[in-house]
A and B are shown apart, each in its own frame.
Chain A
Amino acid sequence: MMRASRSRGCSMDDGSSMDSQSVVIRFAGDSGDGVQLMGTQFVAAAALAGNDFATFPDFPAEIRAPAGTTFGVSAYQIHLGARPITTAGDAPHVLVAFNPAALKVNLPLLADGALIVLNIDSFTSRNLAKAGYEKDPRQSGVLDGYQIIEVDITKHTLEATAAHGLSKSDAGRCKNFWALGLVQWMFNRDSSAIESWINGKFAKDATTRDANLAALRAGHAYGETAELTAALPHVATDTAQFPPGEYRGVRGGEALALGLAAAGELADRAVVFCSYPITPASPLLHQLARYGELGVGVFQAEDEIAAVCAAIGASYGGAIGVTSSSGPGIALKTEAIGLAINAELPLVVVNSQRGGPSTGLPTKTEQSDLYLAVYGRNADAPVPVLAARSPSDCFEVAIEAVRIALRHMTPVILLTDGYLANAAEPWRLPNMDEIPRITVNKPAERKPGQDVSAVIFDRDPETLGRPWVSPGMPNLMYRIGGIEKDIRTGNISYDAQNHQAMTDMRAAKVAAVAKFIPPQKVEVGPERGSIAVVGWGSTYGAIYQAVRAIPAKERVSHIHLRHLSPLPSNLGDLLAGFDRILVPEMNMGQLATLLRDKLGVETIQFNKVTGQPFMINELVQKIRSLLTAKPAVRAVRGERA
């Protein structure tokens, strides 16, 4: 077993030390090297071995950037082990670098003393120059302090696959499986699941299948036959203690798609998903396109506006209309979201947030669309806003979003981000029979002589949701639109008092959602204490681990919000029980603003917009720095800490 050269001296689960409890591994290479596939297959084997895991694919915006360049480097990070794993880990202990550029980009991320497996076949003077290395890093001293394993992966791969008659370039492409075989050996994994995947995937191409199998086995044998045993660690990770049940690995995009399909099943309505391709939201479109038999229809619209409008049209027609995009696309949809608010139609808008403004950082994660979601429309146009916190949480939140949209007849915005969409974790499968069904607001029978508006706008006094009346329903023909309407008859109304009443009604409707939100809970730590670390969205895992790493006597708690608009009713009282409130966010302080606005609380901001998720360690350091610098004034409502 290998240990990092320097321990950071705490038992936090940031992967700061590799041991049998937790290890962080990163594969990196060119976009075309197959590292994403290598990562997913390694995780599949780890899951079957009973490890907990979290993954983070980190790929460039370019589809096939020029080979060997630093901006074309694609990476896949895996954190696996026995303890509850909630993030992809701070600093990798093991890096497999397929070329000099991959080394150059990833070296700064590594843990002290990390093990680096280098594919030396790619360390040519040309590739070194493309990576921006003036001198070979193996000689320049930049790798001092790391354990370096030099392997001619390409050469070994070609040898291993020689018998299968592939061209040299095709044979070379098997090197991800060769390297995977080697890593499988390092972590003492059974490769039968990977082999059966290869058998299935290449069932129609025996040559490729056999070559990949040969490469996988050769890589494993390479580790086994002790050619490098002296240097190569052989790590056994303990299995995690999971509650009993059925498990699978799931990415956020998959869980969200399954959640939307599940909501359709629970409401017994078709789901019509209308979208326009955009990074990083497209995986949801791709996933749902395969769910026809789950009653999901997918429509790829001509643009973002058409996508939201088609979803609204579908909702008007009695299906569950859903649209999805990322920040730039959501900005385009805002006018139409206002229409759905005015027409009192259900709609779910999924925003897979990315770095911005404008095109920004399409493949990098950020949480900077909270303002856009909560405040970003013309006029007084509130909508409920929810955020998912982990890949598997996307499933529940998708159901919750549809439930709210149908109960209150309103658009709902669901925030995820690029990290969540692509990250994966083990998921204890829910029992569909235990999830409450979603009820639809059915119109009452229209009595003889009764005006149709009495049925159409008969809003539920508790939810303010109106009946969902769709074309095709006899005897209920009505007209609706974006023009302000009379609160009772639904006819066009420019009346001053009526507009006030309608505006109040729309605000009260969104506020009414809070009646159905469970009280906000504390994830870790006491209900009252010195610091509440308040987060939302994909920072969950990092905050959770950071707070767990702080000794209990410090009375630091983690509070994580799913509902951002409206906020849970008890949140103000809960936060009042803490001396200080720390709000870590991957933006410049949007939740901090929201909490000040809605609850009048002052918070300590901790903001990061580097396109990378929070590291557990940086959160721990921040909390510690607060604990050592005691506040001069106790922060209470309206006072600054």
Chain B
Amino acid sequence: MSAQLQPKDFATSQEVRWCPGCGDYAVLKSVTRALADVGAVPEKTVFVSGIGCSSRFPYYVETYGFHTIHGRAPAIATGLKLANPELDVWVVTGDGDGLSIGGNHLMHALRRNVGFKILLFNNEIYGLTKGQYSPTSRPGTRSPSTPSGSFDTPASPGLFALGSGAKFIARAIDVDKNGLGSVLEAAHGFDGAAFVEIFQNCIVYNDGVFNAFTDRDKETDAQIHVKHGEPLVFGENGSKGLAFDAKTMTLRVIDAKAQPADVLVHDETNRVLAQLLLGMNAPEFPVALGVVLRQPSVAFEKTYYAHQPTQMKRTGSVAKALRQTSVWRVDEKKPAKK
């Protein structure tokens, strides 16, 4: 690999089989561009996925790829990292795969802080099984399995990750190539489990579910792109800001020009702030995008190797291990006797 690879070098010969207009196409494009931009080495890069529309992803990236079983990609990727911690591993999952059937593995991958990227494509619906409601569907979602509307409380992927102990949480919109691109690059540079929630539009079963903050005419007031060390402002010319109300321990939206001193500055190492930002929903609040949380971190597999007495290297011999107990000799003809 001499010359810098281009995004097209990460495309495979496989025909992409997502529905026309699916948000996954945009994500695929951003991912291949990010791979080129960060100088990813194809033979050291692996995409591991579970089951669902998003989990077809590995077939379309010219790296190593493993399309596994429903919900289990984080567990398989963990074993892969233990076998070869040098690999650059990306886990691709969805709201059903990652938060329903695979919720347990996602939680443990995050708390262990295994060194891979987790891209959770959240479209708030089951696409591949034809439109049933998902664990992130909003109450009232009409689907084949909830004809009169769903009524259970949805999970928030970001807050789930935070509660699981994730040290890196970022969010982006499928078609926002700049926002998604910078989040992917940040995730790539993180030493640990980098959790990225991607708001992904399912054009067939849940079209427009994120319009409240992704529509062109709403995005200025309904999105806030957070950056470490910069004021949390949004709206036309940064006219609005987020402030902390100490009495209620909540965020509120203020006039950033009138009260500039009250505008919070984003601190990506602050878990309390991350919780408040991840809990914001449109239209009352802007939806927080970008790197919401990034804390100092050492990946699980590095600690794992460091804890191994010989860093997984075979320095001993079985012949010796066999004899690490009381051993007695029986000589020719006459049995051993004390």
Q: Contact residues of A with B, CB < 8 Å?
A: 44, 47-50, 190, 193, 239-249, 258, 261-262, 264-265, 270, 272, 274, 291-295, 297, 299, 301-303, 305-307, 309-319, 321, 335-336, 338-339, 343, 429-433, 470-483, 491-492
Q: Contact residues of B with A, CB < 8 Å?
A: 12, 14, 42-46, 48-49, 51, 58-59, 62-69, 72, 75-84, 86-87, 104-105, 107-108, 304, 308-310, 312-319, 321-323, 325-333, 335-338
Q: Contact check: which of A262, A264, A272, A309 meets B83 at CB < 8 Å?
A: A272
**Beyond A49-B337, A293-B315, A294-B316, is A272–B67 a contact (Cβ under 8 Å)?**
no
Given contacts A48-B328, A472-B44, 6 further A-B contacts (CB under 8 A): A246-B323, A294-B318, A309-B72, A313-B81, A321-B79, A335-B69
Which residue from chain B places its CB closest to the CB of A238 in the assembled complex? Answer: B335
Give the interface SS of chain A, mostly helix, strand, loop or mixed. mixed
Q: How far is the CA of A239 from the CA of B49 in the complex (A)?
A: 60
Q: How far is the CA of A427 from the CA of B126 in the complex (A)?
A: 57
Question: What is the distance, in angstroms, from A368's C-beta to the closest C-beta of chain B?
Answer: 26
Question: What is the distance, in angstroms, from B329's C-beta to the closest C-beta of chain A?
Answer: 6
Beta-carbon contact of B310 and A242 below 8 Å: no
Give the tally of cross-chain contacts (CB within 8 A): 234
List 20 A–B pairs whose Cβ atoms lie within 8 Å, in order of A's numbering: A48-B326, A245-B330, A248-B322, A262-B318, A274-B79, A292-B309, A302-B104, A306-B78, A310-B82, A313-B80, A314-B82, A317-B83, A318-B84, A319-B82, A343-B66, A430-B322, A433-B319, A472-B84, A472-B87, A481-B49
Beta-carbon contact of A483 and B67 below 8 Å: yes
Beta-carbon contact of A303 and B104 below 8 Å: yes
Residue from A47, A193, A264, A306 having most chain B Cβ neighbours under 10 A? A306
**Complex contacts, A319 vs chain B, CB 8 Å:** 82-84
**Beyond A294-B316, A471-B43, is A272–B82 a contact (Cβ under 8 Å)?**
yes
Beta-carbon contact of B335 and A240 below 8 Å: yes
Question: What is the distance, in angstroms, from A378's C-beta to the closest C-beta of chain B?
Answer: 11
Q: How far is the CA of A272 from the CA of B77 in the complex (A)?
A: 13
Q: Contact check: which of B14, B309, B333 meets A293 at CB < 8 Å?
A: B309
**Beyond A265-B317, A294-B316, is A310–B79 a contact (Cβ under 8 Å)?**
yes
Closest 5 CB pairs between A and B? A313-B79, A481-B67, A317-B83, A310-B79, A295-B314
Beta-carbon contact of B62 and A336 below 8 Å: no
**Complex contacts, A343 vs chain B, CB 8 Å:** 66
Q: How far is the CA of A249 from the CA of B326 in the complex (A)?
A: 8
Beta-carbon contact of B12 and A479 below 8 Å: yes
**Complex contacts, A335 vs chain B, CB 8 Å:** 69
Beta-carbon contact of A297 and B82 below 8 Å: yes
Beta-carbon contact of A471 and B80 below 8 Å: yes
Q: How far is the CA of A555 from the CA of B241 in the complex (A)?
A: 94
Beta-carbon contact of A476 and B69 below 8 Å: no
**Complex contacts, B327 vs chain A, CB 8 Å:** 246-248, 429
Beta-carbon contact of B75 and A301 below 8 Å: yes
**Complex contacts, B14 vs chain A, CB 8 Å:** 479, 491-492
**Complex contacts, A249 vs chain B, CB 8 Å:** 325-326
Beta-carbon contact of B325 and A306 below 8 Å: no
Q: Contact check: which of B77, B107, B304, B338 meets A48 at CB < 8 Å?
A: B338
**Beyond A239-B335, A248-B326, is A316–B80 a contact (Cβ under 8 Å)?**
yes
Q: How far is the CA of A470 from the CA of B83 in the complex (A)?
A: 10
**Complex contacts, A478 vs chain B, CB 8 Å:** 64-65
**Complex contacts, A430 vs chain B, CB 8 Å:** 322
Beta-carbon contact of B76 and A242 below 8 Å: no
Beta-carbon contact of B67 and A305 below 8 Å: no
Question: What is the distance, in angstroms, from A335's C-beta to the closest C-beta of chain B?
Answer: 6
Q: How far is the CA of A479 from the CA of B315 in the complex (A)?
A: 34
Beta-carbon contact of B87 and A471 below 8 Å: yes
Beta-carbon contact of A473 and B72 below 8 Å: no
Beta-carbon contact of A244 and B326 below 8 Å: no
Q: How far is the CA of A313 from the CA of B67 in the complex (A)?
A: 11
Beta-carbon contact of B338 and A190 below 8 Å: yes
**Beyond A50-B337, A245-B330, A478-B64, is A299–B79 a contact (Cβ under 8 Å)?**
yes
**Complex contacts, A339 vs chain B, CB 8 Å:** 68-69
Q: How far is the CA of A245 from the CA of B49 in the complex (A)?
A: 52
**Complex contacts, B45 vs chain A, CB 8 Å:** 471
Q: How far is the CA of A240 from the CA of B310 in the complex (A)?
A: 41
Question: What is the distance, in angstroms, from B221's C-beta to the closest C-beta of chain A?
Answer: 41
Q: How far is the CA of A483 from the CA of B66 in the complex (A)?
A: 11
Question: What is the distance, in angstroms, from B256's C-beta to the closest C-beta of chain A?
Answer: 44
Q: How far is the CA of A432 from the CA of B314 in the complex (A)?
A: 15
Beta-carbon contact of A316 and B75 below 8 Å: no
